[in-house]
Amino acid sequence: MDFNSSLRIAATGLHAQTARMRVIAENLANADSAGKAPGDEPYRRRIPTFETSFDPDVGGKIVEVGKLAYDMSDFTSRYEPGHPAADGTGYVQYPNVNTLVETMDMREAQRTYEANLNVVTVTRQMLGRTLDILRG
């Protein structure tokens, strides 16, 4: 595998983790978004999916962002009788977003992004040293 292949594989990883962090940020931003009227469904947590495929140009597997999936777990309910979206019993449905899970997913995505970025950095350093050797 050559330098360009390493850079391209790492770049697909960077792109995938950027998309993952964007979805996680959207989930966190909507964690407390209730409906506006009784019976309105609140925001439903989204989950990014990834696919790998063999790229003959790079001679290895690359990662691609797949379709967004929806977390079909139950919404949470809170007793807030004064809320505009409260049902007849005073309960309001809130998104099925767990901020602790999203925070941990964000940390994992950040670390994976950093690992791919380190691959790019080290590959560039090795390429620079190779050029230095060839000049000398």
CB atoms within 10 A of CB 24: 25
Task: Tell me the pLDDT band of 70, cut-offs 50, 70 and 90.
Answer: very high
pLDDT in the model for residue 82: 92
Buried b or exposed e, range 111-131, using 16+ CB within 10 angstroms: ebbeebeebbeebeeeeeeee
Do the beta carbons of residue 16 and residue 65 sit within 8 Å?
yes
Cα dist from 54 to 1, 58, 59, 63, whole Å? 14, 8, 7, 9
Residue type, 130: T
State the average pLDDT over residues 7-22.
95
**What pLDDT, on the 0 to 100 scale, is given for residue 1?**
60
Sign of CA dihedral 97, 26, 52, 114: negative
Q: Determine the average pLDDT of the residues in 72-92.
A: 94
- Regarding pTM above 0.85, the answer is yes
pLDDT averaged over the chain?
94
